[in-house]
Amino acid sequence: MPANKLRATNTLKISLLVAACIFVVAILSLLLLVSPAARKQELTVSAAISLKEPLTEIGAQFEKTHPGVTIVYNWGASGQLEQQIEQGAPADVFASAAEDKMDKLVGKGLVDRQSVKDFTKNRLVVIGHSCDKIHSFDDLKNVDRLSIGDPLTVPAGEYAKEALTKAKIYDSLQSGNKLVFGGNVRQVLIYVEGGNVDAGIVYSSDAITGKGISVCFTVPDTYTDPIVYPIGVIKTTQHGKVAQEFVDLVASPYGQSILKQKGFQP
């Protein structure tokens, strides 16, 4: 091939290559200009299982107003979720059924302190299939099996132990092998629903979801520390803005209205 034709061919190839590079750079630039809300994002929310109904509904509304965002939930006992986050499990938002679990993560620099909000409260109730013989703590002395959440990892169990201790019956129930611990508060509800135990202590919001059970009595507020739920953003999140917007929606008047419908308190 003559030298002039070879040079022309090489020049054409170089021109095409440069054009292709410019095109790729232009496309990448356009992608970078797309707002985070419009790009596909997956927001992982690790939350106390007692929050399942309200957060699922609030999350559905959040997805409608944030195109491209999908919320993935990790439900469990707050203590277990706290441990998972400490061990590096992926999460963007943490919603706890107890303030001490959130405080631990804030103290270890794993949750952004400025993002944390106390957004709702709850109460404990004693439930059973039949409440004919269960009207007070004294009546719980006579049951064969009483289920509560494991006090080591389940906030509802911690609160239940606190209440039973104040009622001066925890030690006798434990020594009599009458206590059946659940891995989370919903497991306690399942034990009662299935007739595996005579009674259980759960949140009032859980009792609303129960089937074939009754609320025997409400635990007085003075028998436990305030049952307050905090929510906050995990520091390692790659979706900080969206995560904070989700936290804000949960704490907003809209979020509060959903929580109230599900049996929670402002």
pLDDT per residue as tens digits for the range 41-84 = 999 999 999 999 999 999 999 999 999 999 999 999 999 999 99
Band (pLDDT 50/70/90 cuts) for residue 15 is low
Mean pLDDT of 216-234: 96
State the Cα–Cα distance between residues 241 and 30, nearest whole angstrom. 21
**CA triplet 147, 48, 61: central angle to 5 degrees?**
135
Q: Tell me the two tokens of residue 77.
A: 């006992």
State the Cα–Cα distance between residues 148 and 7, nearest whole angstrom. 84
State the Cα–Cα distance between residues 124 and 104, nearest whole angstrom. 24
**CA triplet 26, 32, 33: central angle to 5 degrees?**
90
Determine which helix (DSSP H) or strand (DSSP E) holds 118, and give its type and residue range: strand 117-121
Band (pLDDT 50/70/90 cuts) for residue 3 is very low
Predicted confidence (pLDDT) at residue 23 exceeds the cutoff of 90: no
State the Cα–Cα distance between residues 148 and 146, nearest whole angstrom. 7
Predicted confidence (pLDDT) at residue 85 exceeds the cutoff of 90: yes
State the Cα–Cα distance between residues 96 and 75, nearest whole angstrom. 10
DSSP, res 79:
H
Predicted confidence (pLDDT) at residue 107 exceeds the cutoff of 80: yes
State the Cα–Cα distance between residues 120 and 142, nearest whole angstrom. 34
Q: Has this prediction a pTM greater than 0.85?
A: no
State the Cα–Cα distance between residues 24 and 11, nearest whole angstrom. 20
pLDDT of residue 39: 60
